[in-house]
């Protein structure tokens, strides 16, 4: 087994120390419990296990900050399994994940698989990842063109739409009328080729455009 060391990063020190001890016994390798403030030490480990909490979007930002300072493989603990979360995890740089209902045996098996580059996930999520990758390739030149057609006001509204704000909430945030906010949202959806907010938010193109617009 080629695991030089495992770091368990968690906002809960007691939980991190307990699981780090269990993994050390099960895998026979060096383990260490770390907090997010100690991410500079991650380069010493071949695997990093990240304990997720209820703040979903904040978790993915946290993972991006880890991958920005470390080339080690990332495994997420407690991921709520859905197409959207699996895609976001992959975009953030994760190499694998474990659900909150998984056993210690399943956790150990996943860590070993990821260390060998052999991680697998359910077929529907594998398909979703390939579909997302294909979309990114196809839209490499299309998405920037869509973003460039949005006005500064529309880019701001798009950002608020991505936060699941209603037209009324967007209007209040920008000090505009509900009618104006509604018209802006309709124009943005039309430019994205989406028939509704739900349709738009489910598409990789929507997420790409939101990120491009916020730069």
The predicted structure's pLDDT at residue 194: 72
The predicted structure's pLDDT at residue 91: 80
- CATH of span 139-213: 1.10.10.10
User: Above pLDDT 90, what percent of the chain?
Assistant: 12
Q: Which is more confident, 122 or 57?
A: 122
Same fold, 6-121 and 139-213: no
Confidence band of 143 (pLDDT split at 50, 70, 90): low
Q: Residue 37: CB partners within 8 Å, gap ≥ 6? A: none
Q: State the alpha helices, DSSP H only, in the chain.
A: 13-27, 56-67, 83-92, 104-115, 123-138, 142-148, 152-162, 167-174, 178-192, 197-201, 204-213
The predicted structure's pLDDT at residue 186: 87
Delimit the domains of the chain by residue range: 6-121, 139-213
The predicted structure's pLDDT at residue 169: 92
Architecture (CATH level 2) of domain 6-121: 3-Layer(aba) Sandwich (3.40)
- pLDDT digits 0-9 by tens, 159-183: 888 888 889 999 999 999 999 999 9
Rounded Cα–Cα distance for residues 180 and 184 (Å)? 6
Rounded Cα–Cα distance for residues 11 and 71 (Å)? 21
**Mean pLDDT for the stretch of residues 70-80:** 84
- Ranges 45-54, 88-97, 195-204: which has the least confidence: 195-204
**Mean pLDDT for the stretch of residues 195-204:** 66
- pLDDT digits 0-9 by tens, 86-119: 888 888 888 889 888 889 999 999 999 898 888 7
Rounded Cα–Cα distance for residues 94 and 101 (Å)? 19
The predicted structure's pLDDT at residue 67: 75
pLDDT at 155 over 60: yes
């Amino acid at each position: 087994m080629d695991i030089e060391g495992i770091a368990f990063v968690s906002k809960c020190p007691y939980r991190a120390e307990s699981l780090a001890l269990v993994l050390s016994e099960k895998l026979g390798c060096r383990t260490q419990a770390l907090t997010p403030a100690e991410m500079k030490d991650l380069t010493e480990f071949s695997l990093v296990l990240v304990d997720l909490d209820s703040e979903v979007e904040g978790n993915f930002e946290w993972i991006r900050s880890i991958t920005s300072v470390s080339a080690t493989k990332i495994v997420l603990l407690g991921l709520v399994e859905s197409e959207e979360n699996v895609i976001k995890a992959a975009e953030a740089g994760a190499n694998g994940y474990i659900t909150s209902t998984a056993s210690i045996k399943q956790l150990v098996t996943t860590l070993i698989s990821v260390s060998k580059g052999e991680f697998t996930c359910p077929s529907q999520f594998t398909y979703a990842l390939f579909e997302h990758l294909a979309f990114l390739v196809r839209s490499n030149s299309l998405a920037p063109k869509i973003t460039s057609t949005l006005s500064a006001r529309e880019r701001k509204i798009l950002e608020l739409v991505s936060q699941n704000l209603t037209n009324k909430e967007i209007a209040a945030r920008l000090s505009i009328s509900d009618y104006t906010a509604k018209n802006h949202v309709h124009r943005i959806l039309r430019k994205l080729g989406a028939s509704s907010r739900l349709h738009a938010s489910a598409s990789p193109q929507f997420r790409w455009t939101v990120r491009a617009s916020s730069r």
